[in-house]
Amino acid sequence: MLWCTSSLDLATLLKSRAHRTNMPVDFTGKWELESSENLENYLKALDIDFAIRKIAAHLTPIKTFIQDGDNFVIKTQSAFKSYELSFAVGVEKEEFTKGFDNRMLKTLVTWEGDKLVAIQKGEKANRGWKHWIEDDKLYLELTCEDAVCQQVYKRKD
């Protein structure tokens, strides 16, 4: 239970809590894949061919987050392919998934609590992703149509 001796103490506390809840989570750093569930079905929903799906299942990608407030660059590197995505939270942008599934999308990333949530509009229904940090692990949920892939990354720094 919290006790305040004056209204000033309570006002100061409420103001500081409001300020903290508006601060974005800091994703900055390098993260290495630790586990992945249902990647094959997710890639299949994206029409990724059989050989590429099999290669992807054996990769251990590293994600590098560069963050400045609500501005992000996410670099995903593996022995097979590398991708870079830059975005500002709350600003819809056109995204071409060159080298992945080669589609033009409209992507909007927003905050849902402490989660980064992307909705990707294009040829495929229910496409998007969510990133969040819990217990010093980075979680990624990828969705496309009815397929959901769950990945967990550990901090590499």
The pLDDT value recorded for residue 124 is 94
Q: Is residue 21 included in any domain, yes or no?
A: no
pLDDT category of residue 44 using cuts at 50, 70 and 90? very high
* Residue 10 within a domain: no
Check residue 20 and give its pLDDT: 34
Tell me the CATH number at 82. 2.40.128.20
Sign, CA dihedral 23-29-30-34, equals negative
Residue 75: what residue type?
A: K
For all residues of the chain together, what is the average pLDDT?
Answer: 86
Q: How confident is the model at residue 23 (pLDDT cuts 50, 70, 90)?
A: low
Both tokens assigned to 8: 């000033």
Look at residue 91 and tell me if it is in a domain: yes
Task: Indicate whether 94 belongs to any domain.
Answer: yes
- 2: in domain: no
Are residues 4 and 13 in contact, defined by beta-carbon separation less than 8 angstroms? Answer: yes
Q: What pTM was computed for the model?
A: 0.82
The answer to whether residue 22 is domain-embedded is no
pLDDT, one tens digit per residue, over 74-90 is 999 998 888 899 999 99
Asked if residue 39 is part of any domain, the answer here is yes
- Residue 65 falls within a domain, yes or no? yes
The mean pLDDT value for 24-36 works out to 96
Total number of domains constituting the chain: 1
Length of the chain: 157
In which domain, by residue range, is 62 found? Answer: 28-155
CA pair distance 109, 124, nearest whole angstrom: 17
Mean pLDDT of 49-71: 95
